[in-house]
């Protein structure tokens, strides 16, 4: 009988009563490979919003939800294969793969839970070695200019963006196809997934605009041909000014598609939406629930699009598009070292991360 595998990991532990979960580096053990599993060493990962949620215990205590005392987080990354289970015949030692982080799937193949987050019995990339189901790893294409660090950030945010944009754009074209793309004004509150969706909108010929309070985000967007509306920080209401600028840019029509993965200004999002407009969401940062006046939404023929990560087919299509039009994240800040991941978590919690894509290293590439 094979022994359990013991590794160095950053681990989320059950919280004490009334406290946040614990996050610390420690030894972590997991069971030997099942026939359909792959042992790999993560090379790079990207710190994601769901990891921040996990460390605060909001909206849920993940350990309690999964029925586990300790969890290894991290669902965006690139790994190198070490060993494959007996039923895995197409991956070899040394193969480089991106993580496809779907946990439980529905009958159509769309993810219900996420590996390394709320899917019980799974582990993420915050370990020197980790095991994955075969379907959770996809071979990286050979050649090209995309770095492993960029693929790590791509694997969750850009894949999520592709699925969300695909559905949002199709939803708008059902009613307004005669005006696509020249009449399609797309706005988004600043964030990495939103930036990726705006890049897709601009590539298709839509007018794309990022709304942000951060100068670094402004420069990032302008360098990609995306317009910018600057607004005050979270403490500055600025709603009337932001809404006014959106209306000015659209000659009073409003946003055709509004990407809102933040949640803090949802009322502005709704008020800024044009008739036949689409609100697109694939996550949240500051709010999960919002009231809506259903009569107004019906009269204005608004469409609300909600997506959760992506189908494996969409992930493959996103990778193909990345290579064909150079659509991928640019890593502009130094990669965080393995020993610094605790500092990264603290900096993220304090709102001090200025980079869209905070990438960390796990093993030497």
Neighbouring CB atoms inside 10 A of 41's CB total: 17
Which pLDDT value is given to residue 239?
Answer: 59
**Mean pLDDT within 340-351:** 95
Q: What is the pLDDT of residues 30-51, one digit of tens each?
A: 999 999 999 999 999 999 999 9
Mean pLDDT for the chain overall: 93
Fold: same for 5-140+332-361 and 161-306: no
List phi, psi (to 5°) of 101.
-90, 20
**Mean pLDDT within 165-175:** 98
The pairing of beta strand 273-281 with beta strand 303-306: parallel
Which pLDDT value is given to residue 17?
Answer: 61
Which pLDDT value is given to residue 20?
Answer: 83
Separation CA 104–CA 81 (nearest Å): 22
Which pLDDT value is given to residue 236?
Answer: 47
Q: Where are the domains of the chain?
A: 5-140+332-361, 161-306
Give 340's DSSP letter.
Answer: G
**Sign of the torsion angle spanned by Cα atoms 49, 50, 54, 57:** positive
Which pLDDT value is given to residue 18?
Answer: 65
Which pLDDT value is given to residue 323?
Answer: 97
Q: What is the pLDDT of residues 203-244, one digit of tens each?
A: 999 999 999 988 888 988 999 999 999 986 544 444 568 999
Separation CA 254–CA 111 (nearest Å): 33
161-306, CATH topology level: Rossmann fold (3.40.50)
Helix axes 49-56, 341-349, angle to 10 degrees: 80
Ranking 56-65, 163-172, 318-327, 329-338 by mean pLDDT, the lowest is 56-65
Peptide bond into 127 cis (omega under 30): no
Class of domain 5-140+332-361: alpha beta
Helix (H, G, I), strand (E, B) or coil at 71: strand
């Amino acid at each position: 009988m094979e022994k359990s595998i013991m590794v160095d990991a950053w681990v989320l532990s059950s919280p004490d009563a009334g406290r946040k979960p614990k996050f610390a580096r420690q030894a972590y053990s997991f069971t030997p490979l099942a026939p359909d599993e792959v042992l790999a060493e993560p090379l790079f990962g990207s710190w994601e919003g769901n990891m921040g949620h996990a460390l605060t215990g909001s909206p849920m205590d993940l350990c309690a939800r999964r029925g586990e005392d300790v969890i290894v987080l991290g669902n965006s990354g690139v790994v190198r294969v070490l060993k494959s289970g007996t039923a895995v015949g197409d991956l070899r030692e040394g193969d480089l793969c991106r993580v496809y982080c779907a946990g439980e799937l529905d009958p159509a193949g769309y993810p219900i839970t996420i590996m390394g987050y709320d899917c019980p019995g799974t582990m993420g990339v915050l370990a020197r070695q980790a095991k994955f189901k075969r379907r959770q790893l996809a071979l990286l294409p050979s050649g090209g200019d995309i770095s492993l660090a960029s693929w790590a950030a791509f694997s969750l945010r850009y894949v999520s963006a592709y699925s969300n944009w695909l559905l949002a754009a199709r939803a708008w074209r059902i009613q307004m196809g005669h005006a696509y793309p020249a009449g399609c004004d797309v706005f988004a509150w600043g964030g990495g997934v939103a930036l990726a969706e705006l890049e897709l909108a601009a590539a298709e010929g839509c007018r794309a605009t990022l709304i942000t309070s951060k100068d670094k985000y402004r420069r990032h967007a302008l360098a990609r041909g995306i317009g910018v509306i600057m607004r005050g920080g979270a403490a500055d209401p600025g709603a009337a000014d932001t809404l006014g600028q959106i209306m000015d840019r659209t000659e009073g029509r409003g946003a055709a598609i509004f990407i809102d993965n933040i949640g803090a200004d949802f009322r502005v999002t709704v008020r800024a939406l044009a008739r036949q407009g689409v609100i697109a969401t694939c996550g949240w940062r500051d709010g999960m629930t919002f009231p809506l006046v259903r009569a107004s939404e019906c009269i204005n023929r608004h469409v609300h699009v909600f997506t959760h990560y992506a189908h494996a087919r969409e992930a493959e299509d996103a990778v193909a598009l990345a290579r064909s039009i150079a659509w991928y994240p640019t890593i502009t800040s130094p990669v965080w070292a393995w020993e610094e991941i605790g500092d990264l978590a603290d900096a993220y919690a304090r709102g001090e991360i200025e980079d869209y894509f905070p990438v960390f290293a796990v093993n030497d590439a």
